[in-house]
């Protein structure tokens, strides 16, 4: 894959910070299932792999590879994970059992300093935006990038607290609103530097195709 020109493959000029990526192995029929009606199982899997590689490239341009952890799922020994780890010096850790909130909490708790966590559904993330989110943790207890669908594409915390991720209807348009409620209950100050879009549903593919500088949809807009 050819990386977009705007993503440099080095973050040496910037202060490093912990960054976690929740990463599913690219297995047809088990990733991007909501896109399968438009792309088929194989096409959805190829797009998932491209999105994951794009997320890793963006992370590498924002912080040191030694600070990046891929939290793996589905097949922890998948060749793609080993390739990324060997090529870039990334750390691999298996996602723990539990719902999305518990897995995010464990990834944030494992950091040795305040850091951020992303998935690979948001190709609009940039190295500058990742660094901006990290910088927000100097004055906020938590940082989020709310997504247009009601969820969020990034979370960072100054200190991990499981209560931030409790009583959340994961996968719905209420996720960000409910998370704000949890933060209010904790007395936390939130920073939300930007609102972003992600790629979850067939209707998102048109927008992704219109941003071909970010990533290419397998087979064009639709299969």
- pLDDT, tens digit (0-9, with 9 covering 90-100), for 9-21: 444 446 899 999 9
Does residue 52 form part of some domain? yes
13 assigned to some structural domain: no
pLDDT tier for residue 25 given thresholds of 50, 70 and 90 = very high
Average pLDDT over residues 101-118: 97
Domain that holds residue 52: 19-198
Q: How many domains does the chain have?
A: 1
| Residue of 156, 153, 154, 117 whose CA lies nearest to 136 | 156
- For the segment 195-203, the average pLDDT, to the nearest whole number, is 94
Let me know if residue 115 belongs to a domain.
yes
42-99 pLDDT, tens per residue? 999 999 999 999 999 999 999 999 999 999 999 999 999 999 999 999 999 999 999 9
Q: Is 122 helix (H, G, I), strand (E, B) or coil?
A: coil
pLDDT digits (tens, 9 = 90+) for 154-166: 999 999 999 999 9
Percent of the chain residues topping a pLDDT of 70 = 88
Question: Do residues 12 and 80 lie in contact, with contact meaning Cβ atoms separated by under 8 Å?
Answer: no
The closest of 107, 56, 72, 66 to 89, measured between CA atoms, is 66
In a domain, 166, yes or no: yes
Backbone angles phi, psi at 92, to 5 degrees: -115, 135
Cα-Cα end-to-end distance for the chain: 20
Three-state SS at 54: helix
- How many Å apart are CA 184 and CA 146, to the nearest integer? 16
Q: Nearest to residue 219, comparing CAs of 59, 37, 40, 88?
A: 40
The model carries a pTM of: 0.90
Q: Indicate which CATH number applies to the domain containing 124.
A: 3.90.550.10
Residue 93 counted as domain residue: yes
Kindly indicate the confidence band of residue 1, based on its pLDDT and cuts at 50, 70 and 90: very low
Closest CA to 96 of 116, 121, 69, 115: 69
Residue 129 lies in a domain: yes
Q: Flag whether pLDDT at 223 surpasses 60.
A: no
**What would the pLDDT profile of 111-168 be if each residue is shown by its tens digit?**
999 999 999 999 999 999 999 999 999 999 999 999 999 999 999 999 999 999 999 9
90: left (phi over 0), alpha (psi -120 to 50) or beta: beta
Reduce the DSSP state of residue 200 to 3 states and report it. Answer: coil
Q: Exposed (0-12), middle (13-18) or buried (19+): which is 28, by Cβ within 10 Å? A: middle
Per the domain annotation, does 74 fall within a domain? yes
Residue 42 pLDDT: 97
Confidence grade of residue 209 (pLDDT, cut at 50, 70, 90):
confident
Cα 204-170-182 angle, rounded to 5 deg: 120
Confirm whether 103 is domain-assigned. yes
């Amino acid at each position: 894959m050819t990386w977009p020109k705007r993503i440099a493959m080095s973050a040496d000029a910037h202060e490093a910070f912990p960054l976690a990526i929740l990463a599913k192995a690219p297995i047809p029929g088990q990733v991007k299932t909501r896109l399968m009606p438009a792309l088929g199982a194989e096409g959805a899997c190829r797009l998932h792999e491209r999105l994951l590689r794009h997320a890793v490239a963006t992370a590498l341009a924002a912080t040191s590879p030694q600070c990046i952890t891929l939290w793996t799922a589905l097949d922890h020994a998948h060749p793609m994970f080993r390739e990324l780890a060997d090529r870039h010096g990334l750390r691999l850790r298996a996602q723990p059992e539990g719902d999305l909130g518990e897995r995010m909490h464990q990834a944030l708790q494992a950091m040795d300093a305040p850091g951020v966590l992303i998935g690979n559904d948001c190709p609009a993330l940039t190295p500058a935006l990742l660094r901006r989110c990290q910088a927000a943790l100097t004055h906020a207890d938590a940082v989020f990038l709310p997504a247009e669908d009601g969820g969020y594409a990034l979370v960072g915390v100054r200190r991990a607290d499981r209560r931030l991720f409790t009583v959340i209807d994961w996968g719905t348009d209420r996720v960000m609103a409910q998370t704000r409620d949890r933060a209010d209950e904790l007395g936390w100050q939130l920073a939300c530097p930007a609102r972003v879009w992600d790629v979850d549903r067939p209707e998102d593919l048109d927008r992704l195709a219109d941003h071909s500088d970010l990533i290419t949809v397998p087979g064009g807009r639709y299969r």
